[in-house]
Amino acid sequence: MRIMMNSTQVLYFTLSAYFDTGVIKYLYFIITMSLYICIVVTNVFLIVVICMHRSLHEPMYIFLCSLFMNELYGSTGLFPFLLIQILSDVHTVSASVCFLQIFSLHTYGAVEFLNLAVMSYDRYLAICYPLQYNRLMTSTKVAVLIAVTWLFPFLAIIVLVSLSSSLQLCGNIIDKVYCGNYAIVKLACSDTTVNNIYGLISTFFSIIIPLILIFYTYMKILKVCFSGSKQTRQKAVSTCTPHLASLLNFSFACCFEILQSRFDMSSVPNMLAILLSLYFLTCQPLFTPVLYGLKMSKIRNTCKRLLSADV
């Protein structure tokens, strides 16, 4: 083990959350592979449907397409890595791959929250200002919102990973099944004040502000719904229900991950702790396309026409 204690020269990390499962690992591999295939197929299918049908070239569906692309991005940052580790007998990962995975998973989470915030803003304009919607949500504004949704998290997480990779580490054992930024920071034997402050700042801009924006827009939407017509309420319910369900699922999943990372989970069964840490990286990419595909009539009807034409 080439590790220089009290130095930054850590060449690889050991993932200690894995345990010997014998031949059952092949069952875990098949289940994980099946989940990944389902995620890829459903998200790619809906992206293709939205891109190929001009009737879906509206801001709401363009933002949805961005959301589906992010699900693919986050899943690809996790599942191939998990599949390799499940079959491996030595659960180690090089430092460069570990930091690359941290960058991928953290940008996925930040893009998800920002994308959901942009979608709530779009629904706010569509429901509260229906007659002015086309003037307020122009193609230029859509492009700018999507660019900010992706570029800001990438720039913010590059700084986060750079700060973590420059820390002096006194160990190389990560108590997880994948690499996490806070797990690296906990290994530091140098001052982590800058890392902690920047982590709070990036969390505020990537998570707290989007959640505040979502809360504000939905308060306005609810106000219009209670004072509006039955048709307005039905429109709000049909378009906002999948968005709210997706938001709540991802928010709870992130809470599970934060609890699992920050607090002692030794009293929790090992398998349950692993499932909780993987929840926000597996359930959201799996359920988001199904949720929107089933709940949004325009996507559902387009998918039905496409499938029936193939048959």
What is the block-wise mean pLDDT of the chain (311 residues), using blocks of 10 residues?
A: 47 83 85 93 89 84 93 93 88 90 94 93 88 90 95 94 89 87 87 89 89 89 75 70 82 78 68 77 86 71 65 47
pLDDT at residue number 5? 41
Residues 6+ apart with CB under 8 A from 213: 117, 120, 121
Q: Rounded to whole angstroms, what are the CA distances from 139 to 63, 204, 299?
A: 12, 28, 21
The ranges assigned to domains in the chain are 12-310
pLDDT at residue number 306? 65
291: nearest Cα among 9, 71, 4: 71
Q: Residue 8 has which token pair?
A: 């930054």
pLDDT at residue number 54? 80
160: nearest Cα among 118, 94, 206: 206
169: nearest Cα among 183, 158, 155: 183
Question: 12-310 in CATH: which number?
Answer: 1.20.1070.10
Task: Yes or no: say if 32 and 79 are a contact pair by the CB < 8 Å rule.
Answer: yes
pLDDT at residue number 198? 92
Q: Name the pTM for this structure.
A: 0.88
pLDDT at residue number 1? 35
Rg (CA), the chain: 21
pLDDT at residue number 6? 45
